Structure 1
Amino acid sequence: MPHYVAIIEDAGPDDVSLWFPDLPGCISGGDDVDEALESAPEAIAFYAQELTEDGRQLPPPRTLDELKADPEFADDIRNHTAVLIEFPPAAEAEE
């Protein structure tokens, strides 16, 4: 299964956002990290649906090392928590 790197930004009490360097404009959020992580696959699914409707596909995910080497994202990865989000989720892929 592909895994997209997500950057978690804790903006304060009850405000956590998560975004994907490989999926511009695809974000997830919540009151805490767990909530943001829980809704992340749904955010990717919605993003993928919009791309499909436009006749495009999800770009392939880059590895964490590839993103660390990209000057556009290196500071974000260094200054925030990076996690891997599986898409499609394993349970969904088995259906």
Structure 2
Amino acid sequence: MQLYFALVHQDEGSAFGIQFPDLPGCFAAADSEEDLITNAQEALALYLEDEAAPQARSVIEINNDPEVKAELAKGAFLIAVPWLTLSGRTKKANITLDGGLLDAIDEAAKARKLTRSAYLADLARRDLNAA
């Protein structure tokens, strides 16, 4: 998993604007702070869909970029956006869980009309994306 840093701007009364200093032309918007990472990841996935992913700079390198420094001085802030590359193929995995936990997982999956596997994959993606 590779992390790309994104600059987030917000003018009073507007949505958040998201741009990636390492990926010119890759941008997104979000109406709330809760949507920042998700929307940034969607933009990242679309941007890199048919491209080789360039090496992301470290947070220190990004912070030393004069253009980024100027934006940060104006009130922008940085977020780390994980880019997960999915292979498109599935693999079977045998896991061991407490029976009560497995029952709770199955109930939650059923309530969301998901299979156990889909539910666990969704949770894993969200957790990895929040890391």
Give the aligned partner of residue 42 of structure 2.
42
Q: TM-score, normalised by structure 2?
A: 0.58
Give the aligned partner of residue 28 of structure 1.
28
Larger radius of gyration: 2
Give the aligned partner of residue 71 of structure 2.
76
Unaligned runs of at least 5 residues, structure 2? 86-123
Bigger relative CO (Cα 8 Å, ≥ 6 apart): 1
Unaligned runs of at least 5 residues, structure 1? none
CA RMSD of the aligned region, Å? 2.2
Give the aligned partner of residue 125 of structure 2.
91
Q: TM-score, normalised by structure 1?
A: 0.77
Identity %: 26
Distance apart, 1:2 and its partner CA:
0.9
Give the aligned partner of residue 110 of structure 2.
none
Structure with more of its chain in strand, by fraction: 1
Distance apart, 1:6 and its partner CA:
0.8
Note the 1:6-17 alignment, pairs <5 A.
6-17=6-17
